Amino acid sequence: MVRIVSAKVYKKISAVSQTRPAIIHYTLFCCLKLNSKAQKWHLIYNVPMKILLTHFDPFGEEKINASAEVAAALPSTLGDISLDILEVPTVFGTCFAPVEAALQRQNYDAVICLGQAKGRNAITPERVAINIDDARIDDNAGKKPEDEVIAPEGPAAYFSTLPLKNMVEAIKAAGVSAAISNSAGTFVCNHLLYQVLHHCATKAPSTRACFIHLPALPKQVQDTPEIPSFTLEDMAKGLKAAFQSLSPA
């Protein structure tokens, strides 16, 4: 999409681009005489934002995974945003392999990983991933690591690099409960987020990333109604709002 905007509007767009990674713009300067006054105008070209969106397969005793159900309910495009959806196994170590392969094939503006956090009562983007695996249950390959470092050469933790507060406010504005979480746990969700952020920090510094935990779906808690649940429609609506908050279009 190409737009010609005034210098005043361009200044606002430039400020937004510092916090929203979707804007890539090329600027041409020219002087046009309007009402006998020379004004500076800017030609803005917005490149569509490409997001790699991952979700997990069912794990433990669950027959479905809320992250997979919600990902399947999302469209492949949202305005100027293109979503590539990828399932990853709920397995320590190997969960990152398909993500790494996708990042080697394609340059993405962002990687957003979805996971299920049964018991939470809000959509919760994760602030941080820590460099440790410490499982209380087996993963889908029967692995149950205890106090194992994910990347010996990596730092103790990585912070998510997408604007989480903007995303949370967008979800809330869509009428869906949301909050930033300060712990992604020490199961495969944290493992994947750490691996993705480590890869971006060392090999793809222009790609930003975060992880979003989703509550259970109503059909997952029919026998335990005390556990919070969100409808598929509400979670999809909240995520659409979060993703669109990343784009200036």
pLDDT in the model for residue 182: 98
pLDDT in the model for residue 247: 85
How far is C-alpha 55 from the chain's CA centre?
Answer: 11
pLDDT in the model for residue 48: 83
pLDDT in the model for residue 35: 44
- Asked about 126 being catalytic, the answer comes back as yes
pLDDT in the model for residue 9: 55
**Residues 50-79: b if buried by 16+ CB within 10 A, e if exposed:** bbbbbbbbbbeeeeebbbbbbbeebeeebe
Look at the alpha carbons of 102, 114, 163, 15 in this order and tell me if their dihedral is positive or negative.
positive
CATH 3.40.630.20-classified regions of the chain: 49-244
- Asked about 213 being catalytic, the answer comes back as yes
Q: Which of 42, 69, 126, 210 is catalytic?
A: 126
Q: Look up the pTM and report it.
A: 0.83
Q: Give the per-residue SS3 of the chain.
A: CEEEEEHHHHHHHHHHHCCCCCCCCCCCEEEEEECCEEEEEEEEECCCEEEEEEEECCCCCCCCCHHHHHHHHCCCEECCEEEEEEEECCCCCHHHHHHHHHHHHCCCCEEEEEEECCCCCCEEEECEEECCECCCCCCCCCCCCCCECCCCCCCCEEECCCCHHHHHHHHHHCCCCECCECCCCCCHHHHHHHHHHHHHHHHCCCCEEEEEEECECHHHCCCCCCCCECCHHHHHHHHHHHHHCCCCC
Give CA–CA dist 61/188, Å, rounded. 16
CB count, 10 Å around CB of 127?
17
pLDDT in the model for residue 18: 43
Q: Which of 95, 113, 189, 210 is catalytic?
A: 189
- Asked about 226 being catalytic, the answer comes back as no
Residue 82 structure tokens: 């293109």
* Strand-pair category, 81-88 with 77-78: antiparallel
CATH topology of domain 49-244: Aminopeptidase (3.40.630)
In the numeric block, the tokens 């094939």 are attached to 105
pLDDT tens digit at each of 249 positions of the chain: 444 555 565 555 555 444 444 444 333 333 333 444 444 554 445 678 999 999 999 998 899 999 999 999 999 999 999 999 999 999 999 999 999 999 999 999 999 999 999 999 999 999 999 999 999 999 999 999 999 999 999 999 999 999 999 999 999 999 999 999 999 999 999 999 999 999 999 999 999 999 999 999 999 999 999 999 999 999 999 999 999 999 865
Q: Which of 55, 198, 199, 213 is catalytic?
A: 213
